Structure 1
């Protein structure tokens, strides 16, 4: 990089890397890969719990609405309340560092498009799995897929409109 430090370092939450990044890169901003954190949540929740499927469904909704702070925070609070994970230290700690991994809390950073691309590629499989049914036909799959794409296009138009009409002074990083 021609002797220049990167502006951002995006990693998993490896303790060694967390300690090393500020020692090696004095000015780089360290962020955590969202997909890595989201993949940990089911195990931290407990896959044997009877409300696991409901939790996963809400988690996928959360993962898909990372564009707005208030939506993310509201959905997070609802999941914590509905599933009684408010006393879970991992969930509390993960929420406390949301400024390092949640797109909605990093919107004003220039790396947002990079993170979004990474998140998109990581979540493709989980997106398509929502349309699979073992007894379903290709036509049924396609209809479900088209419906989901219409919903995503609608959401994207709403977000684009909000971005167009919001001032950058209202966006800040939460620490």
Structure 2
């Protein structure tokens, strides 16, 4: 409902993002490559209400880029903003690995056929019905989601991360 300014009626604000958003949020945190910096980051972020579900580290001599995903992206964003660490956010595609002999190949094949490039990928500490999942940073999120769903793959939403049934 749009707000009617003349009548004084208020409406609930709605955004496109939320727990049913079809992709996941990846946080990229810039760290100096010094002993203890990753520990400082984890000490400030991990808690009962914010669980790290994925981490990947790109390391160089002077700095490290830590890619993180959380069970609650909104709460993680708040903590990162308060922490003083430099970070950015990206949309990534989460997909549950299918049953079968070659689950990674099945997922990658669907995207290759559509010429969607996977820039990087890493596993999620997520299990549902005995199956794991991966997060992928791709060059076209919308197309990747459509292709994966058309190929019968189950994509993971932010809401799924709250309802994880087998914490690792």
Q: TM-score by structure 2 length?
A: 0.28
Q: TM-score by structure 1 length?
A: 0.27
**Higher fraction of helix:** 1
**Higher fraction of strand:** 2
Compare relative contact order (CA 8 Å, sep 6+) and give the higher one, 1 or 2: 2
